[in-house]
């Protein structure tokens, strides 16, 4: 028997607070999963951004507290990691849930803004045609003052609409009342392999591919060497050797 304090007795208050906060936030995301599978309006988008912002802050707090606790007790590192593994994983999964909703909302908002821009161009074109027609009428002998004024106003309106249509398309953003910053879509191009043989063949002569292949071959060869423990059983291109070391 011992009266020694158990693991975590020196966990900073920030650690307990971060874990409790993660449980609250994960519970909130579970409610999102059950009740709000999709963002349907700007108010919900604002709430989703706030939830995401809080999850990101909580993730940073958990990692900071974990690092602080690991520092003085290096030999118990694995045990400490276990303590934080579940809440960190839950927060990461929760972040993914919220980011899926944020991404879908922002994509739909970008599409809406693109459609609005197309409508602006159509309206500007119609106004230009109308202004040209009124200008022809106003230029004829005997045109009334009202017709000349109408042509002038139509030209001004067409110019205004053309300038508005020529402005760059706005980027969809979500900015909640309590969020630290606005959220928007950022390009992040990635590659997904659809045909392994063709993908490998494409980079066959790339130096990085050769290095990666040789590293994999070395690890597989070492695995065989440990299995056979016999230099004579080395496959072609390999040498098995015993790098004996005193311990």
Say if residue 99 is in the same domain as residue 175.
Answer: no
Domain of 103 in residue numbering reads as 13-110
Whether the model clears a pTM of 0.75, i.e. scores above it, the answer is no
pLDDT digits 0-9 by tens, 45-71: 888 988 888 999 999 999 998 888 877
Whether 6 is covered by a domain: the verdict is: no
Listed in order, strand segments (DSSP E) in the chain are: 173-174, 183-184
25 and 104 together in one domain: yes
Average pLDDT, the chain: 85
Residue 151, CB-side half-sphere exposure with 13 Å CA sphere: 15
Does residue 66 belong to any structural domain of this protein? yes
End-to-end C-alpha distance for the chain, whole angstroms: 35
User: Is 98:55 a contact under the CB 8 Å cutoff?
Assistant: yes
Asked, for residue 83, whether it belongs to a domain, the answer is: yes
DSSP three-state, residue 205: coil
pLDDT of 218 strictly over 90: yes
Q: Are residues 21 and 91 in the same domain?
A: yes
């Amino acid at each position: 028997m011992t009266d020694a304090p158990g693991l975590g007795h020196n966990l900073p208050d920030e650690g307990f607070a971060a874990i409790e906060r993660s449980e609250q936030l994960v519970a909130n995301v579970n409610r999102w999963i059950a009740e709000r599978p999709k963002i349907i309006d700007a108010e919900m988008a604002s709430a989703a951004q706030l939830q995401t912002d809080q999850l990101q802050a909580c993730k940073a707090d958990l990692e900071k507290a974990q690092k602080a606790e690991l520092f003085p007790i290096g030999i118990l590192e694995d045990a400490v990691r276990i303590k934080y593994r579940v809440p960190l994983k839950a927060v990461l999964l929760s972040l993914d849930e919220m980011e899926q909703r944020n991404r879908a909302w922002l994509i739909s908002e970008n599409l809406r803004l693109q459609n609005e821009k197309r409508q602006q161009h159509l309206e500007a074109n119609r106004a230009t045609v109308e202004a040209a027609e009124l200008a022809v009428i106003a230029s004829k002998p005997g045109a009334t003052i009202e017709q000349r004024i109408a042509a002038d106003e139509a030209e001004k309106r067409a110019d205004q609409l053309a300038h508005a249509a020529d402005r760059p398309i706005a980027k969809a953003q979500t900015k909640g009342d309590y969020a630290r910053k606005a959220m928007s879509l950022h390009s992040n191009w990635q590659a997904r392999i659809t045909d392994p043989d063709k993908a490998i063949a494409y980079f066959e002569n790339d130096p990085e591919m050769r290095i990666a292949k040789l590293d994999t071959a070395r690890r597989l060869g070492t695995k065989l060497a440990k299995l056979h423990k016999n230099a004579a059983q080395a496959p072609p291109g390999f040498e098995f050797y015993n790098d004996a070391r005193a311990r």
